[in-house]
Structure 1
Amino acid sequence: MTEEKATMLLIVSRILDYPNADFHAGRSSLIASIKESVADLALRKEMVKRIIPLYKMKTRDLQELYVETFDHQEKTSLYLTAHELGDSRKRGLALIELQNLILDTGFVPVGKELIDYIPRLLELLAVASESDALSRLEKRLAFAIHRIVNHLPHSNSYRNVLELLSKDVFAAPLEDEMEQLAFEREEADLDPLPYPMLYQ
């Protein structure tokens, strides 16, 4: 994986974390990281252009947008196996298998989220050595990111950030892959969810 793609994964993984009180304080270091690691000027400008609108929002407004975007709808959830399996009982086994994969890489996720939390998996792809298992994980994430983007309005600033991955990092999922993953899913009992899930 190129340094530019790794940087994009790390930047987006940080943006997709719940925007706590320290979110805006990280703006300068994030922009500096883009300028240092992304050689392509057009891509660098595109990244900054898509990210800055989130930093221009007040913390409370941004938190409300985050919850509205990711916590109320299963189709835009930030949990990988929710996109792959829905409410299926297979999710438990899938989480164990994913945890074993992560342990094998030596990566130690930070935070209290479930092991399939997409921001942490993006970070894993950015820092871990390439392998067949991680290549498969990359395809799974491509499917989830594609699904999230397709279920967000164009006006949503988080969609604009996620499109960086669907355009410049992940290959578009093949139609048969999309159909197979959709076939294995089981719909949630309630959509939207009956309560917001906050990550602090």
Structure 2
Amino acid sequence: MTTTDAHRATAWQVQSLLMGYPDEEAVARLPLLRAATGTLPAALAAPLTAFLEHAEATPQIDLAADYVATFDHRKRFSPYLTYFAYGDTRKRGMALLRFKHAYRAAGLELDDGELPDHLAVVLEFAATGDPVVGLRLMTEHRAGLELIRLGLHEAGSPWAHVLESVSATLPSLGRHEHEAIARLAAEGPPEEEVGLAPFAPPEYMPQGGPR
């Protein structure tokens, strides 16, 4: 089955919901997500099916605890894409504004307190807002996405399957992307230069790193 734009939009919507916090409402939605996954090509569907099988077999309280331990307590798996490109620096604040402006241009407004670079938010935007801009935002932060994917695989996390499906919706990695991933893995995110104040408004600057 050839992957179409409609397939990508469906995959991004499913991936977005699976990258959110797995509360009771999210778990109740799993059968619907499985049905949507069944319409996708194997490269997108197989990883999602693997995750869905795990989620369906895991008590909600355990799934939620695993989510918090994975994404809220470990910067290595931060779902906030600009963290990998800019760390907790002033440049990250400007990058967050760029995401926010992209959403606003498509007529979307985020809830208060919701950072625009969370992978679940970016995937939702790509699925229902502007697929071209959404794809570009993910491609621009591909090194961080791949680092999350590789790290989750290494840790044996079930969410590695979701990242595998996300990666399958994006263009193939080229030499420059491979080099950027290797450099990021070796050096980590940038650190703030001493004595420089942030240029972005305070509400767009991360506080104490990603949740």
* TM-score grouping bracket, smaller chain normalisation: 0.7 to 0.9
TM-score (norm 2): 0.75
Task: Measure how far apart 1:42 and its partner are.
Answer: 7.4
Structure 1 residue ranges without an equivalent (≥5): 189-193
Per-residue deviation, residues 86-144 of structure 1 (Å, max 9, x unmatched) = 1221111111122111111123345742121110101111223444x444313124333
1:64-103 aligned at under 5 Å gives the runs 64-103=65-104
Do the aligned partners of 1:86 and 1:187 also contact (CA within 8 Å) in 2? yes
Query: Which residue of structure 2 lines up, in the alignment, with residue 120 of structure 1?
Result: 121
- Partner Cα separation in structure 2 for residue 10 and residue 19 of structure 1: 15
> Matched residues, percent identical?
26
- Residue 147 of structure 1 pairs with residue 160 of structure 2: no
- Residue 185 of structure 1 pairs with residue 186 of structure 2: no
The 3 A distance-change label for structure 1 pair 98 and 44 is closer
Q: Which moved more, 1:80-89 or 1:152-161?
A: 152-161
Per-residue deviation, residues 138-187 of structure 1 (Å, max 9, x unmatched) = 31243332110111226211112211122x21124434345398479314
Task: Measure how far apart 1:73 and its partner are.
Answer: 1.8
Structure 2 residue matching 1:114: 3-state secondary structure: coil
Structure 1 residue matching 2:24: 3-state secondary structure: coil
Per-residue deviation, residues 50-101 of structure 1 (Å, max 9, x unmatched) = 3220221111211121112111221210111111111221111111122111
Pairwise CA RMSD of aligned residues? 2.9
Query: Which residue of structure 1 lines up, in the alignment, with residue 37 of structure 2?
Result: 34
- Give the paired residue count: 188
Query: Which residue of structure 1 lines up, in the alignment, with residue 136 of structure 2?
Result: 136
Q: Which amino acid aligns with 1:136?
A: R
- Residue 21 of structure 1 pairs with residue 24 of structure 2: yes
Do the aligned partners of 2:96 and 2:116 also contact (CA within 8 Å) in 1? yes
The 3 A distance-change label for structure 1 pair 98 and 47 is closer
The 3 A distance-change label for structure 1 pair 46 and 162 is closer
Structure 2 residue ranges without an equivalent (≥5): 193-207
Do the aligned partners of 1:143 and 1:173 also contact (CA within 8 Å) in 2? no
Task: Measure how far apart 1:43 and its partner are.
Answer: 5.3
TM-score (norm 1): 0.79
Do the aligned partners of 1:7 and 1:126 also contact (CA within 8 Å) in 2? yes
